[in-house]
Amino acid sequence: MPAPGRWRRRSSWIGYAAFGWAVVYGGFGLVSALTGTAVFYRAAEPLPVGLSWAVVAVAVLAATAALTAVRPWGRWIPRPVVHVTLAGLCVLSGVAAFGLLMDMITFVFNQNVDSWTATANRALAAVGVVLLIATARSYRSAGTCPRCGAMHTSSSVRSGPEPAPAPRRVRVLAYVGAVAFLPYAAMKTTWALGGTFAGVSGARMLVISERNGASGVWLTLEHLGIDATVLLAALGVFLILGLVRPWGRVFPRWTPALRGRRVPRWLPLTPALIGAATLAPYGAVGVVYAALATAGVVTVSRGDFPTPGDALLVTWFGLGAFAVYGIALSAVAWSYLRRTRPVCANTGAEARP
């Protein structure tokens, strides 16, 4: 484990990295604003170009906060102010990054996205979330070890806890999240196999996919009776179960070069956090909308379905699964983050703040 000086250098490096990101992100927003290019989209519809100035404002605040966290003059700024500013910037950047998962899925199957500018904005914002969180964490540590809170005066050994199941309540949440995808998978598989659900046949759904510009990969899978979103749901189930079971922390036997080695924490956490940040709010808002529609407060467009009732049924099957899984994944990912946190050995005699 590095000594305090090493931790201070690491904190400075993270802060300057966050500052560099802010400069790049601010430049991106400024160019977009001056050229009249929209960076925020709702589905395929561009939002007002003036919102690009919000990117510039966030970048300026982020650059100031990052320098405050690493430069000597930053000591004159009350620490709570810096903490709150960094936390707020993390939230704003997270909002700007919303939809990145959907863009990634669209690109995998369609080799294209609705707007490359919007995707670039989301990707840059996601990078900012990571760097701002790291900066806030380093700033809070103030020279101590951010893992154990000790002021290390000599080298120590960092180790991770042995793979073990998550607490029972967390495992139950994971199982509930996994089961939530069953109705959705059954609906999509019915269409992929040529059956009829909610008044729409599999053949009709294939025509709709072609009309909406589905890629050759997507259509090939559909012709084989496989729905691409069901494959993604299966990966989601594998991910959430791996986060609560010991096998999710060790590379499997069919990977000879890595067999038996520990899985790096970031490997499952990255898709888990992106998925939770996307599916939980998206599904929750969708469920509220479906509930209001069921109560007759709002009207549902029938779209490609025979009746609004059919469209509402599909909405419940789809967004209901996203909401339950997204919320469960959020709780499971947080538990995994805490349970797998590395600890420092032989620090009992060292000073703690």
Q: What is the pLDDT of residues 111-128, one digit of tens each?
A: 778 889 999 999 999 999
Residue 151 has pLDDT above 80, yes or no: no
pLDDT in tens, 60-87: 999 999 999 888 887 888 888 999 999 9
Which distant-in-sequence residues (6+ apart) come within 8 Å of 283 by Cβ?
A: 319, 320, 321, 322, 323, 324, 325, 326, 327
Confidence of residue 307 (pLDDT cuts 50, 70, 90): very high
What are the beta bridge partners of residue 345? 157
Mean pLDDT score across all residues of the chain: 85
Longest dimension (CA), the chain: 72
For residue 351, the cross-strand partners are 151
Q: In angstroms, rounded to a whole number, what is the distance separating the alpha carbons of residues 243 and 241?
A: 5
pLDDT computed for residue 244 by the predictor: 96
Banded pLDDT at 232 (limits 50, 70, 90)? very high
What pLDDT does 2 receive? 43
Residue 336 has pLDDT above 70, yes or no: yes
Q: 107: pLDDT confidence band, cut at 50, 70 and 90?
A: confident
Instruction: Taking residues 329-336, report their average pLDDT.
Output: 95
Query: Looking at per-residue confidence, does 39 or 149 come out higher?
Result: 39
Could you tell me how far CA 63 lies from the centroid of its own chain?
A: 23
Instruction: Tabulate helix, strand, coil % of the chain (nearest 5).
Output: 65, 5, 30
More confident residue, 353 or 103: 103
Which pLDDT score is estimated for 70?
Answer: 85
Residue 305: alpha-carbon gap to chain centroid:
31
* Least confident range of 191-205, 238-252, 256-270, 317-331: 256-270
Residues ≥6 apart with Cβ < 8 Å to 100: 119, 122, 123, 125, 126, 274, 278
pLDDT(290) > 60: yes
- Report the pLDDT averaged over residues 155-180: 86
3-class secondary structure, 78? coil
Backbone angles phi, psi at 39, to 5 degrees: -110, -10
Pairing status of strand 196-197 against strand 200-201: antiparallel
Q: Does 142 have pLDDT greater than 80?
A: no
Res. 12 pLDDT band, cuts 50 70 90: low
> Residue 8's pLDDT is what?
47
- Write the burial class of residue 329 (CB in 10 Å: 0-12 exposed, 13-18 middle, 19+ buried): buried
Tokens found for residue 191? 């269409």
Tell me: pLDDT of 351 over 50.
no
Q: How far apart are CA 138 and CA 15, in angstroms?
A: 8
Quick one: pLDDT band at residue 11, thresholds 50, 70, 90?
Answer: low
Instruction: Look up the pTM and report it.
Output: 0.81
Where residue 272 falls among pLDDT bands split at 50, 70, 90? very high
Asked if residue 151 lies in contact with residue 353, where contact means CB atoms within 8 angstroms, the answer is: yes
| Coil/strand/helix, residue 353 | coil
pLDDT at 34: 94
